[in-house]
Amino acid sequence: MATLRKIWEAFRGVDRRKMQFEIDIHRLFLLTSYHRQGSESLDALGELGVKLSSEEQQRVVQDNVHKQVTHIGESLDDILLPEPQCKMPAPDACKKPSGLSFAVGSRAPMTDELETLGELF
């Protein structure tokens, strides 16, 4: 505990929340960039993380997370949505009409009928 106290005393004038936020953004930058680019460019990611400002790292993290969420959504769509040829078509002939269609009528009124109704009112 004394070691942590000494470390924080060195940063007495610095906003601790802002510093922790920047550390977290840097970690997220490294993790999301590693996931996107792979392990072959690990050293380059570390160098790039040092060169970029916190705001630029934040933007890159947002882009990386957006791409990952989009990829997950597309994968779930492929899994959950059935193939078009596998869909069973719903036969319209076997459809039972509702009670409202009996009361109102299932066909559209003719224009002559509409004119007759207009004359009544």
Task: Give the total number of structural domains in the chain.
Answer: 1
Can you give the pLDDT at residue 16? Answer: 83
Has residue 119 been placed in a domain? no
Q: What percent of the chain has pLDDT over 70?
A: 67
Domain that holds residue 43: 1-82
Has residue 37 been placed in a domain? yes
Has residue 95 been placed in a domain? no
CA atoms within 13 A on the CB side of 33: 23
Has residue 103 been placed in a domain? no
pTM of the predicted structure, to 2 decimals: 0.54
**How many whole angstroms separate alpha carbon 3 and alpha carbon 110?**
89
Has residue 101 been placed in a domain? no
